[in-house]
Amino acid sequence: MLQKRVYKIFDQTSDLGVIVKGQSLVELFQNSAVVVFNIMSDFVSSGNSVKLQISLQAENNELLLRDWLAELIFLSYEKHILFNTFTFKHLNRQSLEAEAMGTFFQSGNFPVNKEIKAVTYHQLQIRHSKSGYTARFVLDV
């Protein structure tokens, strides 16, 4: 479970806005994924019964973050997995190779309480400062 200080949910009338922080780009991508799965489910899964490899490319780090989260959400719904651990073999501004680990759930017993339809491009942003990285994105729920 992430500390509240590394993320914040902001009000967006019909959807859900998220601000996430990380010391590095890797930590930002990890934290963003953890926040998304915290929003999807209250279930705290520590098991890593499944590991999936994910490779993505995008034009810049903002679009890469969006694609990363969209990919995880798609895999979660399609394969009934709640992911909890994310490691990166490679991550730069335009590509990533990562391993997402989590737990399978039986269909019909999937402990998800908030459907995320999509990770939108609205107000999508990554800022880099001396204190690290901050991402902002809006989820269609």
Partner 1 sequence: MERVINKVSQNIWEIPQTGKMHVPGRIYASEELMQILRNDASLDQIVNVAQLPGITGFSFGMPDIHWGYGFPIGGVAATDIETGVISPGGVGYDINCGVRLIRTNLYFNEVKNKIKPLIATIFSAVPSGIGSHNAIKKLNLSDIQKILMTGARWAVENRFGTENDLNFIEDRGCLQGADSDIISRRAIERGLSQMGTLGSGNHFIEISKVADIYDDIAAQAMDISIGNIVIQIHTGSRGLGYQVCDDFIKVTLQASQKYGIEIPDRQLSCAPLTSPEGKDYLAAMRASANFAFSNRQVIHSLIEHAFIQSLNIGPNELGFRCVWDIAHNIAKIEEHDYKGIKRKYCVHRKGATRAFGPDYPELPLNYKFIGQPVLIPGDMGTESYVCIGTKTAMAETFGSSCHGVGRILSRSQAKKKGATINLFKELEKSGVFVMAEEKSTIAEEMPFAYKNVTQVVNTLYETGIIRKVARLVPLGVVKG
SS (H, E, C) 66-119: HHHHHHHHHHHHHHCEEEEEEEEEEECCCEEEEEEEEEECCCCCCCCCCCCCEE
Of the two residues 78 and 130, which places its CB atom closer to partner 1 in the complex? Answer: 78
Of the two residues 13 and 131, which places its CB atom closer to partner 1 in the complex? Answer: 13
- Binding of residue 104 to partner 1 (CB under 8 A): no
Contact stretch for partner 1 (CB under 8 A) within 27-35, 48-56, 87-95, 113-121: 113-121
Residues lying near partner 1 in the complex (CB under 8 A): 9, 11-16, 63, 70, 74, 77-78, 107, 110, 112-115, 117-118, 120-124, 138, 140-141
